[in-house]
Amino acid sequence: MAVLPLIRLVEAGFEISMVVTGEDKRRKRNSSLSHSPVKAKALELGIPFTHDLSDLEKIQADLGIVVAFGKILPKECLEKVPMLNLHFSLLPRWRGAAPVERSILAGDAVTGVCLMVVEEELDTGGICASQEVAIEEKTGEELRKELVEVGSSLLVEALTEGIKTPEPQVGTPTYAHKISPDDLRLDWQHPVKENMNKIRLGGAWTLFRGTRFKIWSASVSSPLSEPTGTIIGDQVSGVNGSLKLIEVQAENRGRQPFDSWQSGARLTSEDRFI
Q: What is the pLDDT of residues 100-152, one digit of tens each?
A: 999 999 999 999 999 999 998 999 999 999 999 999 999 999 999 999 999 99
Residues 6 or more apart whose CB falls under 8 angstroms from that of 160 comprise 12
Q: What is the pLDDT of residue 71?
A: 85
CA separation (Å) from 259 to 145, 188, 228, 244? 30, 21, 20, 11
Domain 3-176 has CATH 3.40.50.170: yes
In whole angstroms, give the CA distance from residue 169 to residue 7.
29
Q: What is the pLDDT of residue 192?
A: 96
Q: What percent of the chain has pLDDT over 70?
A: 99
The interaxial angle of helices 37-45 and 3-11, nearest 10 deg, is 20
Indicate if the pLDDT at residue 258 is higher than 70.
Answer: yes
Ranges of CATH 3.10.25.10 domains, the chain: 181-265
* Nearest CA among 54, 42, 51, 61 for reference residue 20: 51
Q: What is the pLDDT of residue 269?
A: 86
Question: The dihedral of CA 8, 11, 14, 20: what is its sign?
Answer: positive
Q: Which CATH number applies to 181-265?
A: 3.10.25.10
| Mean of all residue pLDDT scores within the chain | 94
pTM score: 0.91
Mean pLDDT computed over 27-56:
88
Indicate if the pLDDT at residue 264 is higher than 80.
Answer: yes
Q: What is the pLDDT of residue 30?
A: 66
Ranges of CATH 3.40.50.170 domains, the chain: 3-176
Q: What is the pLDDT of residue 164?
A: 93
Indicate if the pLDDT at residue 198 is higher than 90.
Answer: yes
Mean pLDDT computed over 226-245:
95
User: For 155-191, how does the pLDDT look when each residue is reduced to its tens digit (9 = 90+)?
Assistant: 999 999 999 999 999 999 999 999 999 999 999 999 9
* Nearest CA among 71, 68, 64, 72 for reference residue 36: 68
pLDDT band at 70 (very low <50, low <70, confident <90, very high): confident
- Give 190 or 58, the one with higher predicted confidence: 190
Q: Are 93 and 174 in contact (CB under 8 A)?
A: yes
Mean pLDDT computed over 230-257:
95
Mean pLDDT computed over 193-202:
97
Indicate if the pLDDT at residue 28 is higher than 80.
Answer: no
